[in-house]
Amino acid sequence: MQIRWVAFTAAITLGVLLLASLFYQEQAKAAPLERDLAAVPGVAAVQVERDAGRWHVRVQLGAVDLLPATYRELRDRADRRLGPDRYELELVDRRTPELEEAFYQVSYFVEEGRTRGDYAEAARQVEAAGRRLGLDRARLYVDAEFVYLELVRGDGVLYAVMPLRPQPEVTAR
């Protein structure tokens, strides 16, 4: 009877220690990453959580000078702390209903650019549409991996980051 009690106590203690160790490891990654990302210019707030074995990094952006540079810096820092492809990076902006409507109006040009590969024309179309819609800024940026859309009006900002090439659609047969 005495041995069972000792074994039971040891198992419970080991379980508690393992859970505490896992919690500490999670916090040991999350807190430094939050500090690293908060130091990037234009970042207003950062929240790092782990859910179902995957990291979720939520970054609230204020005004940024160059969206692609900011996004790359955020990804580089998260890659160093968590590892590439081990997290989801979500940008939180200050979008307004007017900016959301503008997004839908320029999204055709963005998708056409992604499909045809003519990003220079897509950027011109986005800027022209932004002027027609009375936006302070409507910019389309492209790098080797992503297409970035930035729409600004007053204090409102809408940021969208999309893969450079659209994903192939899956159809049922």
Range of 121's domain? 97-163
Q: Is residue 170 part of a domain?
A: no
The whole-number pLDDT of residue 162 equals 93
Question: pLDDT band at 20, cuts 50/70/90?
Answer: very low
- Averaged pLDDT for residues 63-80: 95
Q: Is residue 132 part of a domain?
A: yes
Are 110 and 35 in contact by the 8 Å Cβ rule? The answer is: no
Per-residue model confidence as pLDDT tens digits over 78-111 = 999 999 988 999 999 999 999 999 999 999 999 9
Same domain, 79 and 157: no
pTM: 0.79
Q: Is residue 16 part of a domain?
A: yes
Same domain, 139 and 64: no
Rounded to whole angstroms, the Cα distance separating 92 from 160 reads 10
Same domain, 110 and 37: no
Same domain, 64 and 106: no
Per-chain mean pLDDT for the chain: 87
Q: Which of 67, 92, 117 is the last residue of a domain?
A: 92
The residue that leads in pLDDT, 14 or 35, is 35
Q: How many structural domains is the chain composed of?
A: 2
Q: Is residue 77 part of a domain?
A: yes
Same domain, 41 and 77: yes
Which CATH number do you get for residue 86?
A: 3.30.300.30
Rounded to whole angstroms, the Cα distance separating 140 from 106 reads 10
**Residues ≥6 apart with Cβ < 8 Å to 36:** 77, 80, 81
Q: Is the pLDDT of residue 124 over 50?
A: yes
Closest to 75 (Cα-Cα) out of 67, 84, 65, 64: 84
Q: Is residue 119 part of a domain?
A: yes
Rounded to whole angstroms, the Cα distance separating 111 from 124 reads 14
